Amino acid sequence: MATIVDQAREQMKKTVESTQENFAGIRTGRANPAFLNPIMVDYYGAPTPLKALATIGVPDARTLAVTPFDASQANVVEKAIRDSDLGVNPRRDGNVIHVTMPELTEERRKEYVKIARTKAEDGKIAVRNIRRKTKENIDAAIKDGDFGEDEGKRLLKDLEDATKKITDEIDTMLASKEKEILSV
């Protein structure tokens, strides 16, 4: 029944990956293609993620170059970027749309740090929920006699160790992201 802790550990690792993806979408002043992930483009009447319609390159530290696969959709892609709540103003050069990241103010950086902390806390809450559910399953298995008291205690200790390791990993990622956001 040690697999129950292994399953929980796998779910927790997926939570870490999800938290890392959430962090990637937070702007740091440097251009990052993940910054444009939330943008949806009205592609022939269907909302479609921008990354499915175009390649996103990083020609320099503060610029993203968006090249639509279908050149006829460049206007729609440009409009979607402009209308997004990301606070950027794209400019078009033929089929390539250039998105320049404006300098971040100190106030805006602090806002982004708060957002990062919230996303980290959401990740830790998800990990704790996985721990709680797994603990309930272990307790039920002990009660049903599927395995003994000692085995149950060992599994619970393994579960606590895994939870601590994953939450520490999220804290480390948060510290790194905060440093990245606050560096000018």
Tokens describing residue 168: 């520490």
Mean pLDDT over the full length of the chain:
88
Provide CATH code, domain 2-24+103-180: 1.10.132.20
* pLDDT reported for residue 170: 96
Chain segment 95-104, per-residue pLDDT in tens = 899 998 877 7
pLDDT at 137: 92
pLDDT at 29: 67
Q: Per-residue pLDDT tens for 127-143?
A: 999 999 999 999 998 89
Q: Mind listing the pLDDT tens digit for each residue in 20-68?
A: 888 877 766 677 888 888 888 988 888 999 889 999 999 988 889 999 9
Domain boundaries, the chain: 2-24+103-180, 31-98
Q: Tell me: domain 31-98, CATH 2.60.40.1180, correct?
A: no
Going 50 to 54 to 58 to 63, the CA torsion angle's sign is: negative
User: 116 is written with which tokens?
Assistant: 């990062």
68, with CB counted inside 10 A (0-12, 13-18, 19+), is buried
Does this model's pTM top 0.85?
A: no
**pLDDT at position 2 over 80:** no
What residues contact 57, with CB distance under 8 A and at least 6 apart? 33, 64, 65, 66, 67
Q: Is the pLDDT of residue 184 over 70?
A: no
Torsion of CA 53, 180, 19, 113, to 10 degrees: -110
pLDDT class for 1, splitting at 50, 70, 90? very low
